[in-house]
Amino acid sequence: MKRLIYLFAVLALVRCQQAQNTRETLDFNQDWQFYLGTLESPQDPSVEWKQVDLPHDWSIREGYKEENTAASTGFVPGGVGWYRKTYTPAPADAGKVIRLEFDGVYCNSQVWINGQLLGFRPNGYSSFAYDLTVYVNVDEPNEIVVNVDHSAYADTRWYTGSGIYRDVRLVKLQPTHVAHWGVRVNTSEVSSSSANVNLAVQLNGASPETTAHVTILNDEGLEVASKALDQDGNATIKLDNPKLWDLESPHLYDAVVKVYNGEELVDEKAVRFGVRDIAFTADRGFLLNGKQVKIKGVNLHHDAGALGAAVPRSAWEYRVRKLQSIGVNAIRMSHNPHSVDLLDLCDELGVLVMDEFFDEWHVPKGKNLNYIGDNAAKGELAAGYSEYFHEWAERDLKDLIRRDYNHPSVIMWSIGNEIEWTFPDYSKAYHQVNQGINAYGEAPNFDPETVKAAFDEVTQGKDTLATVAQQLAAWVRELDTTRAITCGSVRPSVAAVSGYADAVDVLGFNYRQMSYDAAHETYPDMKIIGSENWGDYTEWKAVNSRDFVAGMFAWTGFAYLGEAGPWPRKGLEIAFFDYAGFKTPRGHFFETLWVPAPKTYMVVTPASKSEYSFDPEKGWQFEFQLKKAPIWPALRRWEWYQHVEQHWNFEENQDMIVQVYTNAEEVELFLNERSLGKQALADFADDNIIKWLVPYASGTLKAIGYSSGKQVSEYTLTTAGSPSVISLDQNKNTYEKGELAFVTVQLMDAAGQPVRHVERSVSFEVTGGELIAVDNGSEYNVENHYKSSVTTSLGRALAIVRVTDPGTIQVSARGEGLASASVVPGR
């Protein structure tokens, strides 16, 4: 028995020593110092540094300002920022490789250690790493300094944020180790009975004595297969009866690579992957594991309302789950690399991803393209990535593929968005062939000979767009041939003859649903997807009724900052959810399309303000209303129906247009228990919205949905009194330390009815946690998010709270004339 105990002790000691010899990854987000402004030297003793933790976005924290900002980037300042941190390696770290990893720094970052410049990275969305080994002093303080230059604050068409806005890690390794992003896993010959797992591993510091071995673990942590890697670092492992990754059951595996020098374990690296088969076809759209899946996607920018660009994992989880709740199954990462946390969540929750690289190539885009802003910055203030494209595009593109290669959620690489806008010859050729047609409402001429002749005449053989596209696609295929390459095209009829469409595997159509049929008839082998679509019924109907269209990505999933104006319109709430995460009428409408569970929802509009009108002879009529401000007329298509309200508080006898969103076959409307008739959804095929013209009377308006003659859903609007009570809610049942809790406010009257027509200021207090930010979801809210109070919008508000003690946290809210309320997140 003593001998057995001794053997166990020896084995435990060996395992402990081996663990000490493998990699160690440290969270490097805490205890940084920050200074906003230009510096001659970060060692200047007169500088007052501020203590911050990462991720950190100084733009959103500085608040909205009308001066020295741009509508395109959300009316927030840019500037130059400095970060510094001291790090002291332990004596045991002598001889180790030390690597500093940045997930994202916006933008034009330079990093030093002990005064030695490590490098420069212009792209603010790229992840990158520096080897500190030769510059680190072991057992002594080492100063790391990061300079961020976002003085060109109007450098894109949306909000970017400023600073070290994603995570930073410090990794300690033995000289022989798996390289950064050095494990690539894909699967082939996938079926329910077997699959091949193909691995390629890149090692640094290998010698003839170096060997590597991989073990496959299932999602229960059990070993299901293992194999030694060959001398080139490759292995193919057959899995029997694999659990496939799909949207309903996104099973994940771990590939654990162990590296040995002789008998000594020197590195261990685990990567997650999923076993799945993906394909795009010209006739059946997208196939996942051999089954046709219609992509119900949204475009998503990388900001998150009051958090700006510094978005932790728990905030992304909050958002992704909301998107899934209305039937979303895919996200287009518009229009740049996004957070690894977001990709991890898509892997775990079963969401498809279009991973996108660039919004502009070597020719810059106008940063106020939609002409709705009133302070569009120009010149150097609008200089963006195009200035660095030729030098950095290959590295940035390949780094993204290396970083994201193992994510099963990623099904496509997009090499560009609406690039044709920066090559005017595409539009010239288009208009030469299609004179007088409505580009957003009529199908263009796709005849190859006609379009090619016009294109050649306009370009005189000097088009570079297709050449650059082919180069980008070639770089992608150097690293990955398992996924489709795509782009978001705005001139698909011209792209089809220029060589642009030939560079990609699937052609994305941005706002060109009227072209689906003509493109398919002319090019029956073309694979088509709606890469950017208006969020309305006609777009979904066009996609859902055509097997050959793989799906759509509505613009957008969540409201985003920027691409807006005039002041104080800081962004565009043209989304399924607003900045605070409240579901919009558009979100409710699409839920009736994308979720099979019965649902009925109702909004109302004063008839004098509505775009709808009722003619007794012609029936329901619709006419777009354009705003008075100088505006690109087509922009109206991005917005939802004008002046829809989600309350029932109006003037007596005022004519109201009642609009009901439902997936029931019929809806009966009641006003104060009196039936106003039953109508069939099929009779409103143009927009899928059942409508009534109703004289207003205070009380209760109720819509009841029926299918097969049985009631399946209902929704009511009730006239509310003055707000007197605060109702609080929160988003999860349990929280871990450090997670964010999202606590929502709804004003209520004395009878318990929600009040959505009167606003109040609400203040918050938190114990057992930290109040991070407040918001109300409105695109016109330019109050500073980083204070303890906020004015409601539609009677609603949001407090974002970091949980520091899950056992004692409590959030309280109060307002003048309102009964206060408290909630315990997690209960």
Residue-number span of the structural domain to which 50 is assigned: 24-173
Residue 414: helix, strand or coil by DSSP?
Answer: strand
Q: Does one domain contain both 667 and 764?
A: no
pLDDT of residue 553: 99
Region 324-343: mean pLDDT is: 98
Helices (DSSP H) in 233-364: which residue ranges? 313-325, 340-349
Q: How confident is the model over 382-419, as pLDDT tens digits?
A: 889 999 999 999 999 999 999 999 999 999 999 999 99
Phi-psi region of 97 (alpha: psi -120 to 50; beta: other; left: phi over 0): beta
Q: Does one domain contain both 554 and 429?
A: yes
Domain count, the chain: 5
Q: Does a structural domain hold residue 14? A: no
Q: Does one domain contain both 610 and 684?
A: yes
| Domain-ending residue, one of 685, 718, 751 | 718
The alpha carbon dihedral of 64, 65, 66, 68 has a sign of negative
| Domain-ending residue, one of 512, 544, 563 | 563
What is each CA distance from 60 to 162, 790, 824, in whole angstroms? 8, 16, 28
pLDDT of residue 17: 45
Q: Does one domain contain both 623 and 766?
A: no
Q: Has residue 694 got a pLDDT over 90? A: yes
Q: Does a structural domain hold residue 389? A: no
> Facing residues of 502 across strands?
none
Q: Does a structural domain hold residue 304? A: yes
CA–CA separation, 784 and 570 (whole Å): 12
Share of the chain above pLDDT 90, in %: 88
**HSE-up of 462 (CA within 13 Å, CB side)?**
7
Phi and psi, residue 513, nearest 5°: -65, -25
pLDDT of residue 373: 54
pLDDT of residue 765: 97
Strand order in the sheet with 210-217: 223-228, 210-217, 253-261, 264-273
Q: Does one domain contain both 620 and 702?
A: yes
**Residue among 226, 271, 268 nearest 252 (CA):** 271
pLDDT of residue 496: 98
Q: Does one domain contain both 808 and 786?
A: yes
Kindly report whether the peptide bond that precedes residue 568 is cis, defined as omega within 30 degrees of 0: yes
| Domain-ending residue, one of 218, 241, 273 | 273
Q: Does one domain contain both 112 and 217?
A: no
Contact between 152 and 381 under an 8 Å Cβ cutoff? The reply is yes
Q: How confident is the model over 108-150, as pLDDT tens digits?
A: 999 999 999 999 999 999 999 999 999 999 999 999 999 999 9
DSSP states of 694-756 as a string? EE--SSEEEEEEEETTEEEEEEEEE------EEEEEES-S---TT-EEEEEEEEE-TTS-B--
Q: Has residue 377 got a pLDDT over 70? A: no
Q: Label residue 573 by pLDDT band (50, 70, 90).
A: confident
Q: Does a structural domain hold residue 489? A: yes
CA–CA separation, 745 and 747 (whole Å): 7
What six digits make up the tokens of 148? 């961020």
Q: Does a structural domain hold residue 87? A: yes
Q: Does one domain contain both 636 and 536?
A: no
Q: What is the CATH number of the domain that holds 43?
A: 2.60.120.260
Higher pLDDT, 476 or 139: 476
**Cα angle 100, 91, 14; round to 5:** 95
Q: Has residue 8 got a pLDDT over 50? A: no
Q: Label residue 3 by pLDDT band (50, 70, 90).
A: very low
DSSP 8-state secondary structure symbol assigned to residue 40: S
CA–CA separation, 714 and 706 (whole Å): 9
**List of residues 6+ apart from 122 with CB closer than 8 A:** 107, 108, 385, 387, 388, 392
Q: Does one domain contain both 353 and 486?
A: yes
Q: How confident is the model over 604-660, as pLDDT tens digits?
A: 999 999 999 999 999 999 988 766 544 556 677 888 988 899 999 999 999 999 999
Q: Does one domain contain both 169 and 185?
A: no
Q: What is the CATH number of the domain that holds 200?
A: 2.60.40.10
Contact between 156 and 302 under an 8 Å Cβ cutoff? The reply is no
Q: Label residue 41 by pLDDT band (50, 70, 90).
A: confident
Q: Does one domain contain both 645 and 501?
A: no
Q: Has residue 422 got a pLDDT over 50? A: yes
pLDDT of residue 4: 41
pLDDT of residue 370: 47
Q: Whole-model pTM? A: 0.95
The alpha carbon dihedral of 92, 97, 98, 103 has a sign of negative
Q: Does one domain contain both 681 and 764?
A: no
Contact between 324 and 301 under an 8 Å Cβ cutoff? The reply is no
Region 434-448: mean pLDDT is: 90
pLDDT of residue 282: 98
Q: Does a structural domain hold residue 146? A: yes
Q: Does a structural domain hold residue 348? A: yes
Q: Does a structural domain hold residue 377? A: no
Contact between 305 and 559 under an 8 Å Cβ cutoff? The reply is yes
Higher pLDDT, 583 or 628: 583
DSSP states of 627-655 as a string? -SSS--GGGGGGS-STT-BSS----TT-E
Q: Has residue 15 got a pLDDT over 80? A: no
Region 297-326: mean pLDDT is: 98
pLDDT of residue 678: 98
Burial of 222 (C-beta count, 10 Å sphere; 0-12/13-18/19+): exposed
pLDDT of residue 566: 85
Mean pLDDT of the chain: 94
Phi and psi, residue 425, nearest 5°: -60, -25
CB environment 362-378: b (16+ within 10 A), e (fewer)? eebbebbebebbebbbe
Kindly report whether the peptide bond that precedes residue 364 is cis, defined as omega within 30 degrees of 0: no
Contact between 768 and 805 under an 8 Å Cβ cutoff? The reply is yes
